[in-house]
Structure 1
Amino acid sequence: MTTFKKVYEKTAVPELIKSPITRVQLAQYAGASGDFNPIHIDEEFAGISPLGGVIAHGMLSMGFLGQFAEKIAGNLGDVKTLKVQFRAIVRPGDTISCEAEQKELMNNEVQFNITAKNQNGDIVVKGETRIEQK
């Protein structure tokens, strides 16, 4: 019988690679979230801002890590916590990859350090997640 603990023991978690961020995706996220801050959708406004152009919503990158945590949990577990810190700006055209490193393993729970990195390897969001056996 395969136990929850055995599934995660010495198991490398494959990374999740997202398609490059598009302006359409940012507009769709603005609509879904209600966050229409012009820094995310208005090129003219964003171009004269101190940020120098349109940036992705931080919560979009966090959402990628949430999707990744769900992928790690699979059918055996439930994501119980997801804690993150925003570290760098994400811009249209950036490709985000999510990675995990197992932090702690107990009989019915596993914890991971998780990161979202851009195509240059810069950490844009880092955090941790706790997955509990269903």
Structure 2
Amino acid sequence: MGEKTIQKGTTFSAQETVDKYRAIYYAGASGDFNPIHIDPEFGKMVGLGGVILHGLCAAGFVVKTITDWLGDPGKLKRFKCRFASPVHLDDVITTTGEVIEVKENRANIVLKVSNQNGIDVETNVSAEVEV
């Protein structure tokens, strides 16, 4: 199979549904057992509407979208985002990326990350990849 052609204007997208166990799995892997991530009643009590996903787990969905599109995780060189809104269990997260610049052996990508209600859950999302 040939190399992927990456040029300015190239787009890609993916969706991920947050299953009901994702926050617990991530808590176990990361050691972050903050009750907002594992206790629905606590999440409601503090005004979050229930359990919210760890920010880095949600960012992982975006990174997975990029690396799946690239076909080689080693080509992701830089990633940044700002956590803007909580991600809840059963949310459907849509990530859409667009290549905005290709220079030498690198491409810059901007991404939009939103939930099923159109709310941006991450903002200022960008990545630099090897081409």
For the aligned pair, the TM-score class normalised by the smaller chain equals: 0.7 to 0.9
| 2:13 matched residue in structure 1 | 15
Which is further off, 9-18 or 22-31?
9-18
Q: Which amino acid aligns with 1:29?
A: Y
1:50 aligned counterpart, secondary structure: coil
Structure of higher CA gyration radius:
1
Contact 1:23/1:41 (8 A) holds in 2 = no
| Mapped partners of 1:17, 1:23: distance in 2 | 16
| 1:43 matched residue in structure 2 | 40
TM-score using structure 2 length: 0.87
Aligned length: 129
| 1:132 matched residue in structure 2 | 130
Contact 2:106/2:130 (8 A) holds in 1 = yes
Q: Which runs of 5+ in 2 are unaligned?
A: none
Q: Which runs of 4 or more aligned residues in structure 1 lie more than 3 Å from their structure 2 counterparts after TM superposition?
A: none
| Mapped partners of 1:132, 1:12: distance in 2 | 14
| 1:58 matched residue in structure 2 | 55
Q: Which runs of 5+ in 1 are unaligned?
A: none
Contact 1:65/1:115 (8 A) holds in 2 = no
| Percent of aligned positions that are identical | 33
More strand by share: 2
